[in-house]
Amino acid sequence: MKVVYLLLLLMLLVGVRPSWAQRVLFSGRVTEAANGKAVPFASVFVPGSGQGTTADEDGRYQLSTAGPIDSLAASAIGFGTVRKRVSGLASNTVNFALGSGSVSLGEVVVRPRENPAYAILRRVQEHKARNNKRNLEAFEFDSYSRTEVALNNLPDQVSRRKLLRQMTQVADSMGLPRDAQGKPVVPFFASEVLSHFYQHNQPLRKREEIKRTQLHGAAPREGSVTSQILGSSFQDWDFYPNWQQLLGKDFISPIADGWKFTYEYDLQDSVFVGQDYCYKIGVKPRRPQDLAFVGTIWINTETYALRRVDLRVSPEANLNFIELVQVRQDLVASAAGAGLPQRTAVVIGIKPTKGSTGILAHLTIVNSNFDVNHPKPLPFYDRPLETAADAFDGPKDFFEKNRPDSLSREEQATLMVLDSVRQLPAMRNLLEVADIAVNGYYRAGKIDWGPILTAYSFNNIEGNRFRVGFRTTPEFSRDWLLRPYLAYGTRDGRFKYGLRAQRILERRHWTVLNFEHRHDLDQVALLDNDYALENPLFEASARLGNITSSRPLRRDLTTISLQTDLFRGFTQRVMFRRQSFNPLYPFAYYTQEQRPGAPTDNRFDLSEVMVESRYARDEVLIPNNQNRRTAIGLKRWPVFTVRYTLGVDNLLGSDFRYQKFNLLIDQSIRLGQVGRTDYRLDAGYIPSTVPYPLLKSHLGNQSPFYNAGAFNLMRYFEFVSDRYVSFRFENQFDGFLLNSIPAIKQLNWRLVATGNVLWGGVSDANRRINPTEDPVNGGPLPTFQSLGRTPYAEVGYGVENILRVARVDFLHRLTYRNSPGARTFGVKVSFQFKL
């Protein structure tokens, strides 16, 4: 209303009268003359003028003209143009039935004996910079996103289950059609999101403001990460970059720089797309198993810009669970020339196994009100996603009044079915089970009980360990997060407990105050490996069974920390930590002179101040409904983490003064057809003299499970360092090489290669502080081993995607092969769900 008011005011100020009576509205549907089926994305236009529109995927269109016209025309790829005379009424229904036909090719200059499409593709490359939206200074637009998810291909035994039977009955009662085999297509989930999207280029910054969201059916919990990433910023289908990230994979664009080496092209026709005369070019990958597209692109004959794409992922591409991916997109030239996405329709078909129930997802994105080259100040983009406080609280008819496109009768019925299905008791139970499976907690009121996986475990120190804990939810407090727990071991007869409290002081820079107190069993082999303990299966197995070799101890820990984002991508954290160590294995250290017979002790207390800086240039962090943030999407730039720790002696009984320096660098790099490489560089230095539990114990792996954050052929506590540099890499080849072997490519296996190298050592002072004999009974004390001049090294190769979930790694230890208990070769397994 404010925009309308300003337009009226402007017209009055400049003396212009709006000609309301001259507006003429046309609507209708474009179908095939042969069978009456819809013609998606057909062009409807006024011949000889700049007025026109594009039909939706159901062939429906609406066109408003500035005054009366005498004729209206429609055209589409593979069909002839149909022109109809129209009346001068204010509102007209004009339907088109298109017959097969084509438009003659425009003149194209090609080289002798050359594919005629190559000349066009070369011009596309020449004009790429001007047509690429990433070369605009900035742009913004209003965006409407709709997601619909349904179950299809329901086997008879599945469709007879109570919940699906009830859902099918609701769908049938509201007239939803079945598939060609007469099986029900059961709507499962739908969402609608209205937002405003901003993008700044050089440097690249994005921001989306979610104005309104409405969820239907088996929807994710409001405020969850999933519910917030349904907008347009996470559906950026852009084919101008060489690579299109789709479903976590890298697909090469049909107009990539190396187009000729990846794709085959077929110049099929020249047709009108709206008012633009375009070359219609078929594309397909030279190697069907490559992550590439099959379909058609339309290139503007004047600007050589992408005008439309209709692409699907190659059916033979090495992907799991994905049966269909199809993208249809119309682009419109901005005022500065570069094309911006006007309408995008995506269909994704998922089928876990052949013959199983499938999932069919439809995504529709409609963008409007484009504005280019009016950048905001860079701090404006610091929060990439901003969800309005009342985004989920709008009236039920909000989208009926504000939706930029109209729903078909089938889509309207789908939303009604979903709203009805959500009230079924069986559906509510299913949503609760799904929430437990995803989050590991059971919600009861304003409390989440869990984690469920830690409720029971067993080890040789505690015996049977039982644990109960919970965390509060934003319904309890939007600014506080409390996580207490209580555990008991039947063998040691001891209670363990802990409490973590988090207070969000300010959300714009995510300023958070944290407090933690814990009294529990721990292991020296796992201390200060918080960067590496990222594999839940490995971490759980490392705490089970006989943990004596990991040097168990009772640990009291109290921390208080403050963190904030100083600017985009840069997080600063300051922490004070108080610890007490009580080893449960023979241990001693010299408290004064480092010589036999000098005073010793077997426990110690620490007081530490830690300062940590983390910089992730392109990381996108989304607040979730647990008052935490989750990183979304792939990062192109390395992530740097620098940590400094100062141990303060004589503070609250602290026994040592020391310093620690740590540097961590992570990055994921795309290597084109060869796949993707992830590497991690980890370095540390401890220039002080301290007992070995305070040194760096490099994380080994004695479990049968592969862990990318550990040295997989190293024993727990095998090597300790006070100065070290480690480098790890893993290359995932996707379908490279194995896709070329006829007998194997049908299995969709994928190669992986890994390598771990560690340089390290321990100073003489840190060796002498630990006696070799027990000062009480004179027996030998467990000691530690450090690296010499030769680095520790292991390499591996393996196959992932076995039966779509399993991975097997074959590992070779290259150095320190004669160390006691060393494993020179090993086989590790892991399980993962990857597309």
Residue 828's Cβ-count burial label (10 Å; 0-12, 13-18, 19+) is: buried
pLDDT at 110: 46
pLDDT band for position 754 (cuts 50, 70, 90): very high
The answer on pLDDT for 6 being more than 80 is no
CB of 443 within 8 A of CB of 432? yes
pLDDT at 609: 97
**From 112-116, 186-190, 352-356, 605-609, the region with the lowest mean pLDDT:** 352-356
Which residue in the block uniquely carries the two structure tokens 């009121």? 445
Q: Which residues contact 161 (CB under 8 A, 6 or more apart)?
A: none
Please tell me which residue, 643 or 673, carries the higher pLDDT value. 643
Torsion of CA 82, 86, 90, 96, to 10 degrees: -30
Q: Which residues contact 10 (CB under 8 A, 6 or more apart)?
A: none
Extract the runs of DSSP E, i.e. beta strands, from 373-429: 385-387
Token output for 32: 């095939």
Going from the C-alpha of 21 to that of each of 7, 66, 655, the distances in angstroms are 17, 10, 88
pLDDT band for position 15 (cuts 50, 70, 90): very low
Instruction: Report d(CA 591, CA 585) in Å as an integer.
Output: 19
The answer on pLDDT for 18 being more than 50 is no
Task: List, for residues 98-138, the tens digit of each pLDDT value.
Answer: 887 644 444 444 445 678 899 999 999 999 999 999 999 99
334 SS3 class: coil
CB of 325 within 8 A of CB of 348? yes
What Rg value do the Cα atoms of the chain yield, rounded? 32
The answer on pLDDT for 541 being more than 50 is yes
Give the mean model confidence (pLDDT) for residues 626-632: 64
Please tell me which residue, 317 or 277, carries the higher pLDDT value. 277
Instruction: Report d(CA 627, CA 504) in Å as an integer.
Output: 8
Task: List, for residues 429-453, the tens digit of each pLDDT value.
Answer: 666 676 676 667 888 888 989 888 7
Percentage of the chain with pLDDT > 70? 83
Quickly count: other Cβ atoms within 10 Å of residue 364's Cβ: 22
pLDDT at 265: 94
pLDDT band for position 810 (cuts 50, 70, 90): very high
Residue 458's Cβ-count burial label (10 Å; 0-12, 13-18, 19+) is: middle
pLDDT at 82: 87
Instruction: Report d(CA 527, CA 376) in Å as an integer.
Output: 45
pLDDT band for position 12 (cuts 50, 70, 90): very low
| CA angle, residues 654, 660, 666, in degrees to nearest 5 | 140
Q: Taking every pair of C-alpha atoms in the chain, what is the biggest distance, in angstroms?
A: 110
695, 632, 628: which is closest to 658 by C-alpha? 695
696 SS3 class: strand
Length of the chain: 835
CB of 670 within 8 A of CB of 746? no
CA atoms within 13 A on the CB side of 314: 21
Percent of the chain as helix, strand, coil, to the nearest 5: 15, 45, 40
The answer on pLDDT for 181 being more than 60 is yes
Task: Name the β-bridge partners of 329.
Answer: 309, 344
**Would you give the end-to-end CA distance of the chain in angstroms?**
45
CB of 785 within 8 A of CB of 719? yes
Task: List, for residues 90-104, the tens digit of each pLDDT value.
Answer: 678 899 998 876 444
Instruction: Report d(CA 73, CA 30) in Å as an integer.
Output: 11
pLDDT band for position 5 (cuts 50, 70, 90): very low
Backbone φ and ψ for 52, nearest 5 degrees, come out as: 180, 170
pLDDT at 10: 27
Q: Are strands 91-93 and 24-32 parallel, antiparallel or unpaired?
A: parallel
pLDDT at 723: 96
The answer on pLDDT for 356 being more than 90 is no
- Written in H, E and C, the secondary structure of 474-494 is CCCCCCEEEEEEEEEECCCCC
The answer on pLDDT for 621 being more than 80 is no
pLDDT at 75: 80
Give the mean model confidence (pLDDT) for residues 46-50: 66
Q: Which residues contact 436 (CB under 8 A, 6 or more apart)?
A: 442, 452
Task: List, for residues 262-291, the tens digit of each pLDDT value.
Answer: 899 999 888 898 888 999 999 999 877 778
pLDDT at 3: 29
Domains defined along the chain, listed by start: 21-98 (2.60.40.1120), 140-238+319-434 (no CATH), 248-307 (no CATH), 507-831 (2.40.160)
pLDDT at 635: 67
Q: How far is CA 513 from the centre of its chain?
A: 27
pLDDT at 169: 75
634, 633, 637: which is closest to 615 by C-alpha? 637
Q: Output DSSP code: residue 12.
A: H
pLDDT at 548: 85
Dihedral sign of CA atoms 191, 196, 200, 203 in order: negative
652, 651, 653, 655: which is closest to 591 by C-alpha? 655
**From 250-264, 546-560, 735-749, the region with the lowest mean pLDDT:** 735-749
Q: Which stretches of 282-359 are DSSP H helices?
A: none
pLDDT band for position 537 (cuts 50, 70, 90): low
The answer on pLDDT for 13 being more than 70 is no
Tell whether omega for the bond before 451 is within 30 degrees of 0, i.e. cis: yes
Helices (H) and strands (E) in the chain, counts: 13, 45
pLDDT band for position 77 (cuts 50, 70, 90): low
Token output for 522: 């721990």
Please tell me which residue, 169 or 209, carries the higher pLDDT value. 209
pLDDT at 634: 59
CB of 750 within 8 A of CB of 738? yes
Instruction: Report d(CA 140, CA 369) in Å as an integer.
Output: 8
The answer on pLDDT for 627 being more than 80 is no
